[in-house]
Amino acid sequence: MKRRNFIKFGALTAFTSCSTIKPHVYQPTREGKTVNDFFDVIVCGGGPAGIAAAVSAARSGAKTCLIELYGCLGGVWTTGMLSNIIDHNGKLGIMAEILKRLDSTKAQLQNSIYDAEAMKLVLEQMCAEAGVHVRLYTRIVSSIIKGRRISAVITESNSGREIWKAKCFVDATGNGDLSALSGCNFDLGHPVTGKTQPLSLMAIVMGINKEDLIKEKFINGNASSSDNKINLRKEIEKLGFSPSYGIPTFFAIRSDLIAIMANHEYNVSPNNAQQLSDATIQARSEVNKIVNGLRSLHGIWENMRLVATGSQIGIREGRRIKGIYTINKEDMISGARFEDAICRATYMVDIHSLDYNKAGYTTDGINVKPYDIPLRSLIAQDVDGLMMAGRCISGDFFAHASYRVTGNAVAMGEAAGVVTAIASLSNKMPHEVTWISVSEALKSIRR
């Protein structure tokens, strides 16, 4: 195993950027009204990473605000109805707490599959208990940069255009929206083709029993194995077409509540609203076609009905914002260890086929050894006072295909919340916070 060191270990001030800040979208004539409250930390995006960042920042003593686009917290967990938490094993702190709370409400099976409605309530309760100021139905549209430092974000909502000021900010938007609007450099897509991983629209069905799915070998326990997925594809092909996702998958949330992922939308830019719109409409049409088609086969499918599809199509890959350090393929292959490690990722390289392929996904021949995610990959290279958490952190295409899953996103958010809290309360920038202070704070909340 190789070990990466700081240029000067002890503080995160060793990095000096020569990058030029790109112009950001800012319209002084439409500046809007300033929100009266001044926050220590503002977290943009209320998905798994954003929730953890906001809760950990607030619990660390920072006056914290969480801004979310949709009408609930949880992101891909809830609006996306993902129904399965990947790479959460061995992660303590907020990740373990969420699992414990879900388990106490009987909303969780086998420690990873969960009920999205119960998840919404759990996350809202955690934010309320921590004292996080939550604003839903609000979109980040710009930011204010003074020199190299971000001093405010600008939002639009039913309340109009508003300015939100804070000492530090966390971009947990998934697609790195805040960072891009602030002029940060980023990478997007495959290094050769530029293509991004396909999107998937999750769905929930009822009227079919988990025991019947097990008996007919479409599911194994509470989820589909490789053979089960092939069996389901062959069943769908009896309808005269193949699903766009070559290995459609079931997750049994409850004995009579089943999640299904059978859809892929290829060559869609996560930064193009029209492409996202078209992909979502097409995906929802396909999901309905599959469910209605299976019901026409009678047997175990006879009473199956579509209960809901995700309010947000699942986006696997967006911008990867440039940070102080970029996690790369070699780090995974070698099982890299870092002195500023915030968590250890164990998930495989999971590249969903960039074009239709019945195999569904590939590892690109990369054998992952458990590797560390360093704090430096969460600190923006081009803008001071800004951190990233979740799949928009600094990494190459291949590493992103491993660390992007939500178990890791929670650990990233937890660390970003701690760092921004320490920085704001001591009037420092995140890159000026010493690693020892971060390490001690994380140890105290991960006991």
Strands (E), 211-328: 249-254, 257-261, 305-309, 320-321
The answer to whether residue 83 is domain-embedded is yes
pLDDT value at 11 more than 60: no
Which pLDDT belongs to residue 32?
76
Give the total number of structural domains in the chain. Answer: 2
> Do 48 and 137 lie in a common domain?
yes
> Do 237 and 150 lie in a common domain?
no
Which pLDDT belongs to residue 214?
96
Residues spanned by the domain of 124: 3-190+316-445
- At which of 309, 332, 357 does a domain end? 309
> Do 216 and 327 lie in a common domain?
no
- With cut-offs at 50, 70 and 90, classify the pLDDT of residue 108: low
The answer to whether residue 293 is domain-embedded is yes
- With cut-offs at 50, 70 and 90, classify the pLDDT of residue 350: very high
320 phi and psi, to 5 degrees?
-115, 105
CATH number at residue 286: 3.30.70
> Do 45 and 176 lie in a common domain?
yes
pTM over the 0.85 mark: yes
The answer to whether residue 198 is domain-embedded is no
pLDDT value at 10 more than 60: no
> Do 11 and 103 lie in a common domain?
yes
- At which of 309, 332, 351 does a domain end? 309
pLDDT value at 22 more than 50: no
- CA atoms of 118 and 254, how far apart (whole Å): 12
> Do 9 and 115 lie in a common domain?
yes
CATH number at residue 387: 3.50.50.60
The answer to whether residue 117 is domain-embedded is yes
Which pLDDT belongs to residue 70?
98
> Do 98 and 174 lie in a common domain?
yes
The answer to whether residue 196 is domain-embedded is no
Which pLDDT belongs to residue 221?
86
Amino acid at 197: Q
Which pLDDT belongs to residue 25?
45
| Lowest-pLDDT choice from 5-19, 117-131, 226-240, 255-269 | 5-19
> Do 246 and 339 lie in a common domain?
no
> Do 138 and 277 lie in a common domain?
no
Q: Each residue of 276-320: pLDDT tens digit?
A: 999 999 999 999 999 999 999 999 999 999 999 999 999 999 999
> Do 104 and 132 lie in a common domain?
yes
> Do 348 and 395 lie in a common domain?
yes
Which pLDDT belongs to residue 229?
96
Write the burial class of residue 444 (CB in 10 Å: 0-12 exposed, 13-18 middle, 19+ buried).
exposed
Which pLDDT belongs to residue 107?
67
Q: Point out which residues pair with 371 in neighbouring strands.
A: 345
| Lowest-pLDDT choice from 21-30, 324-333, 412-421 | 21-30
Helix, strand or coil, per DSSP, at residue 152:
strand
- Counting residues of the chain whose pLDDT is more than 70, the rounded percentage is 92
> Do 300 and 340 lie in a common domain?
no
